[in-house]
Amino acid sequence: MRDGLAGLTLRGRAFLAAGTTAIVCAVLLGQTSLTRIGVLVVVLPLVAAFVIGRRRYALTAVRSVHPRLVAAGQPARIDLLLSNEGRSTAGAILVEDQVPYALGTRPRFVLQGIARKWQRRVSYQVRSDVRGRFDIGPLTIRIADPFGLIELRRLVPGTAPLVVTPRTVALPPIPVMGGWTGSGEYRPQAFAAGSAEDVSVREYRRGDELRRVHWRSSARMGDLMVRREEQPWEARATVLLDNRLRSHRGQGLGSSFEFAVVAAASLVLHLDQHGYAVRLVLADGTGADETSTAVLERLALVTTVQRPTLDLGWSGDQTRGGLVVAVLGGLEQTDSLALRQLRHDAGTALALVLDVDQWGGRSTASASELPAESVAGLGWRAVTLGPRDRIDSAWRDLGRASGRTAAAAGLAGGRTDR
């Protein structure tokens, strides 16, 4: 009864007030008929509160998200399996699932015919233009009487996570040199004619398989020789995202930082599709070798950090000779040393440099002052991007620069040979 009275609606309170007033007036005026009407008006919400309050629902909700990882702007489907494990029955209830504001309005369903061992499956879609991790739930049920005098709200516990990754842009394939690393007893060789003399061999060790014995080399050396073990090479790439707060301008989805996150996500997906083992590194030096799905999930949660310089503690043997693609914001003189060191360690260094002044409402005075020019002076292949520039076009421009560099290297090699 107490729970029912706590759920009195405005109409229910008005009935109680009107009924009480009618009874008092009837007593003062000696009107018996008015007393009966007042008692009826007062009893009606009390009876409704008693009936609604004594019902004990045992609703359970099992929530599933498909897919659990979705790109910004793409819809995800939420499936709800509702069950009644209690003994109470009801004609209809209003079900409302709680979702964050970024995913849209809260979905509502009116369910009827709830009985014992009742089950129902409902589905709805959500969509977010903002990246991040969102918790969907818990479920709220509203139970009301037919007259609208009592309304109770109860929570059905249980939530499900939805991760919204940054949107990505399809990038064109470009001629990128470098990035191939491997381990093992020798590096793969290109055999021009398949001559046995080109096979790399070593001395026989106890436990080596006889099928690996290279008999021609054994006869020439006078001792058993076996072919060296081949270890597969893999293409490794590092994507550096400059997430320093001081390097970016703007707010919300229109900020240079969100533009940089989209560029980094596009690069990760593109390099992964072309066979690279991708590693994402942030300005504070945090990073790990992960799958592309894990990297995109990490980019969904990345935020800016308060840091004056780029931390290159991650640069070492894994970076040496590999491919490094940097997405940089506004640069300062103190960043030159770090970029020069990173270029020295990398086999190929590409940079997408954001002209953050354009996000701040200012335009670059001349082409010589473009941010990419200062990075290119450190040995990088760099292009400048503004808020209206296309990431795929900038990536294509980097490919053209790579092609010109490769051609120049080939001409230089030819002159050296002559």
Strands lying side by side in the sheet with 160-165: 69-71, 160-165, 132-136
Give the mean pLDDT of 311-333.
82
- Euclidean distance between the first and the last CA atom of the chain, given in angstroms as a whole number: 101
State pLDDT tens for residues 1-47. 677 777 888 998 999 999 999 999 998 888 888 899 999 999 998 88
In contact, 280 and 287? CB cutoff 8 Å: yes
More confident residue, 336 or 361: 336
Lowest mean pLDDT segment, chosen from 24-28, 62-66, 130-134, 369-373: 369-373
- What pLDDT was estimated at residue 216? 84
The answer to whether 325 and 295 have CB atoms below 8 angstroms apart is no
Q: Is 403 exposed, middle or buried (0-12, 13-18, 19+ CB in 10 A)?
A: middle
3-state secondary structure at position 186: coil
* Rounded Cα distance, 334 and 341, in Å: 12
For position 187, what pLDDT does the model report? 37
The confidence score (pLDDT) of residue 30 equals 85
Q: What is the DSSP string of 319-344?
A: TTTSEEEEEE-S--TTHHHHHHHHHH
CA gap 370, 356 in Å, rounded: 11
* Crossing angle between the packed helical segments 32-53 and 10-29, to the nearest 10 degrees: 150
Which neighbouring-strand residues pair with 311? none
Banded model confidence at residue 198, pLDDT cuts 50, 70, 90 = very low
Between CA 152 and CA 156, with CA 154 as vertex, the angle to 5 degrees is: 160
Three-class DSSP category at 381: strand
pLDDT tens-place string over residues 37-68: 999 999 998 888 888 777 766 788 899 999 99
Read off the pTM: 0.74
27-31, 97-101, 232-236, range with greatest mean pLDDT: 97-101
CB-based contact 12:48 (threshold 8 Å): yes
C-alpha 411/C-alpha 418 separation (Å) is 11
In the numeric block, which tokens belong to residue 357? 């002044």
Where does residue 297 rank: exposed (0-12), middle (13-18), buried (19+ CB within 10 A)? Answer: middle
| The residue to which tokens 């990297």 are assigned | 295
pLDDT category, 348, cuts 50, 70, 90? confident
In this prediction, residues 124-129 reach a mean pLDDT of 94
Distances (CA, A) of 12 to 5, 7, 43, 140, 151: 9, 9, 11, 22, 9
Q: What's the mean pLDDT when you consider all of the chain? A: 81
Mean pLDDT of 103-132: 88
To which residue do tokens 């989805």 refer? 253
Sequence-separated (6 or more) residues with CB below 8 Å from residue 11: 147, 148, 149
The lowest-confidence range among 207-216, 227-236, 357-366, 389-398 is 227-236
Average of per-residue pLDDT across 186-214:
57
Confirm if 325 and 238 have CB atoms less than 8 A apart.
yes
Tokens 């309304």: give the residue: 151
For the segment 188-198, the average pLDDT, to the nearest whole number, is: 36
* Alpha helices per DSSP H over 124-255: 215-221
Stretch among 33-47, 184-198, 294-308 having the lowest mean pLDDT? 184-198
Task: At 333, list the tokens.
Answer: 């003189």
> In this predicted structure, what is the pLDDT of residue 181?
46
* Cα–Cα distance measured from residue 208 to residue 231, given in angstroms and rounded to the nearest whole number: 16
Mean pLDDT (whole number) for 188-212: 56
Residue 355 has a CB neighbour count (10 Å cut-off) of 23
Residue 324 dihedral angles phi and psi, to the nearest 5°: -125, 125
